[in-house]
Amino acid sequence: MKIQHAWLRLTTCFIAAITLQSKLQPSSTRASNPCWKASFLYRIHSWSLLETGLFSRATALRFGNPAKMLLGLLLFAGSTQQVSAQWDIPLPQINTAEFPITDTIYMSPTGNDAAPGSLTEPVGSFTKALQLLPFGTVGIQNGNRYGLIRLLPGDYYAPAGMQQNESQWKQGNTFKNVSVEGMGEVNIHADPDLAGVGHGLRLVGSHFFVRNLRIHLPTGVGLLINRATPNPDDPGPEHILIDGVTVDSTGSHGVLIYNARYVQVKNTRVLRSSRLHFETLPSSFCSSWPSGLKFLFSEYITVQNCEVAYTRGEGLNFHNCQYGLAEHNRIHDNQTNIYNDNSARLIIRQNYVYNTPGAMVYAYPCPDNVGQETLAGVGMLMGNEGACADASHSPSFQFCSYVECNGLFLTPYRIPTIDSIWVYNNIFHHTGGAIHLWEGSSSTLNPNCIRNVFVFNNDFWGLTGTPGTTGAQVSLFFPSYNFFLNSYGQVLNLQVYGNLFSYDKADFPFVKPIRIATNTIGFFDYHFRYNRWTYPDANQGNEDLVVPELIYPIALDSLAEFTPVGNSPLVQPVPWFVPWLSTDFWGHPRQTGFTNAGAVELQQNTRVPETIWEDGFSIQPNPANDFTVLKLPYLPHESIVVKLLDLTGKVLFNRRLEHVDEFSIPCAQFPKGCYMVQIQASKGMTVKRLVVQHLP
């Protein structure tokens, strides 16, 4: 951990003392139970003076001297936010009693625009299908009407795409909200050799779905959901479901959803975004960073069971968003696999994120770069770039809480900065680095902050890249300081906890476990705890352990090999990070109190059945003073191994027992605290918690 400036250090200690609280136990019980720290919920100082409502006073403090800033932080230290991953993300409401689909038009590659658009007489163009769907009626459902275009099986050649514009959605105070669904195999494609830019499919309404389509070879965005409104505070599309869609080989983003709320994307594949004519792209074009699946200025987002791959930029990108959940996805072979740019309150869990060894072409943005020394796409990158929606608004970071976009005679609006990010139960495999945080914009007014980032119980296994490159599994890159703009990056409360980090220096001799590059002005508060590494690093925490036995290869898609069994080095019990972590990567239950480090828990079929352990295995007394007794009435006729470990995983006691049903463990020589008793038998292993307290 690194905390700069003495006065800020004092402030941090003061704030931490009054704001860190246990969720499970009242303070009166903590002194008698040294294990309470294993199950807590952070309450962190919000670092947002505006949240107090005292804007003018906070502004004065911002430009004051350090003593005044210290006073201001102390005054507002009581204003806390509960940092929790337990928020609700509502799913979209579509074709319900309140938003019913009342009209359907059918379309076919062999249809006729003179036809009525019925199932037996379909139309031939998307424009005609839109025209046949009616607008709403003033005074009924707020002027909204909900229609559906069904595409019959076939190949739809649409060089200009299928696009709904604002005039086809809004007419006065009435609206036409359109869903699109493929019936059977439906392929919408363009001609990438034609001049101009056409999006594959564009929709602008609300309460609609897009289902069962393949969009192929558009020169623009594959699937675009937006309205032409420059201010993200203006109403945009709401309640959108994308299900069973494949977008493949686009000239720009694969899927771009702009200024939307309540969005669910599931069972969808987004492949080869911005890779049309990659072999001939000029260097100037390659300076852009398209995404496979991008959410921009959006909120309440769910991404489930999707594949995002082979993008010439970011795979999954949350940009200026808040309240997002990405789970059960396969994200791979993108230049950056997951990117968080100025987004807050995200949950990233139970995803398989990887790069294919040897497929290095996906690590380069341009043909000119192919062959350069580099690692493949990083697992997850986070940074505050501070970009407004349009060039007319100028951004400025405000009090480590948000970016304000303002301009002369323009309506200001705000976008979030990175805050409350939860990354857990993921497997990152052969990525070009695990988790990287970077400074984002160094030319935007005022300091910017990444705060409250929690990375825990993940597997980061192996690297992919050219062997001579430099890099790191975990990187904090914040070297810049712009004196004239008072611009620099900061990290407030990064917790990296209970992860498994494995790579082989024989293949990547210049890659470090952790790289820290920071400016001398900002505030940096980061913690590494209970992680398991293959190599030591000066930045690792006291409770981290180096486990060289974790250096071994696991082949791509061999996910079963991440399951800890028997005496595997993957068996690494650590205390809970949060009490609500009840399942692992597979959705299997986690053990309580102590759980296995990494993404996968010891499974029931690798342990003695729970009823045997619960009924037959006990530790008494617990808490213990000078000794405690293990009772094993159900295992009297086999050899077992008993280990006592401290919370860092260090083995303090190790004994093989033959044909016994009771055994005493001496505790007098051990300091007061919380320990783990590990029992290994022929049927598996289990772990119990032991408290040593030395009462008089």
- The per-residue pLDDT for 214 is 97
Confidence of residue 618 (pLDDT cuts 50, 70, 90): confident
- What is the three-class DSSP state of 68? helix
Range of the domain at 675: 613-692
Confidence of residue 590 (pLDDT cuts 50, 70, 90): very high
Flag whether 95 is in a domain. Answer: no
Q: Which of 498, 422, 508, 440 minimizes the C-alpha distance to 473?
A: 508
DSSP 286-303: GGS--EEEEEES-EEEEE
To 5 degrees, how large is the angle CA 569–CA 573–CA 577?
130
Greatest distance between any 2 Cα atoms in the chain: 95
**pLDDT tens, residue by residue, 645-679:** 876 667 888 888 877 777 888 888 888 877 878 77
- The per-residue pLDDT for 637 is 59
What secondary structure letter does DSSP report for 118?
-
Flag whether 14 is in a domain. Answer: yes
What secondary structure letter does DSSP report for 601?
P
Q: Which residue has the higher pLDDT, 201 or 281?
A: 201
For residues 397-412, give the mean pLDDT. 90
pLDDT reading at 79 higher than 70: no
Q: Across all residues in the chain, what is the average pLDDT?
A: 83
**pLDDT tens, residue by residue, 509-535:** 999 999 999 999 999 999 999 999 999
- The per-residue pLDDT for 391 is 84
pLDDT reading at 598 higher than 70: yes
Flag whether 41 is in a domain. Answer: yes
Structural domain count of the chain: 2
Q: Which residue has the higher pLDDT, 309 or 643?
A: 309
pLDDT reading at 250 higher than 50: yes
Flag whether 670 is in a domain. Answer: yes
Confidence of residue 635 (pLDDT cuts 50, 70, 90): low
- The per-residue pLDDT for 172 is 93
Q: Which of 270, 610, 598, 344 minimizes the C-alpha distance to 456?
A: 598
Flag whether 38 is in a domain. Answer: yes
pLDDT reading at 410 higher than 90: no
DSSP 542-586: TT-EE-GGG-----TT-GGGGS--TT-TT--EEE-SSTT--B-TT
pLDDT reading at 488 higher than 70: yes
Flag whether 684 is in a domain. Answer: yes
**pLDDT tens, residue by residue, 87-135:** 889 999 999 999 999 999 999 999 999 999 999 999 999 999 999 999 9
For residues 67-78, give the mean pLDDT. 29
pLDDT reading at 231 higher than 70: no
**pLDDT tens, residue by residue, 126-177:** 999 999 999 999 999 999 999 999 999 999 999 999 999 999 999 999 999 9
- What is the three-class DSSP state of 168? helix
Q: At what angle do helices 66-75 and 6-19 cross, to 10 degrees?
A: 0
Flag whether 646 is in a domain. Answer: yes
User: Which of 358-372, 462-476, 479-493 is least confident?
Assistant: 358-372
- The per-residue pLDDT for 538 is 95
Q: CA dihedral in degrees (25, 31, 35, 36; nearest 10)?
A: 30
Specify the DSSP element, H or E, that contains 6: helix 6-19
**pLDDT tens, residue by residue, 166-180:** 999 999 999 999 999
DSSP 10-61: HHHHHHHHHH-B-SSS-HHHHTT-TTGGGS-B-EEE---GGGGT-HHHHHHH
- The per-residue pLDDT for 74 is 29
Cis peptide, bond prior to residue 623, ω within 30 of zero: yes
At 644, which CATH number?
2.60.40.3080
- Choose the final residue of a domain: 39, 67, 82: 82
User: Which of 62-76, 544-558, 588-602 is least confident?
Assistant: 62-76
Confidence of residue 8 (pLDDT cuts 50, 70, 90): very low
pLDDT reading at 62 higher than 80: no
Flag whether 18 is in a domain. Answer: yes
Cis peptide, bond prior to residue 122, ω within 30 of zero: no
- The per-residue pLDDT for 656 is 84
Distance in angstroms (rounded) separating the CA atoms of residues 398 and 62? 9
- Choose the final residue of a domain: 82, 107, 131: 82
- Choose the final residue of a domain: 49, 82, 115: 82
**pLDDT tens, residue by residue, 375-393:** 999 999 999 999 998 888 9
Tally the C-alpha atoms within 13 A of residue 657's C-alpha that lie toward its C-beta. 23
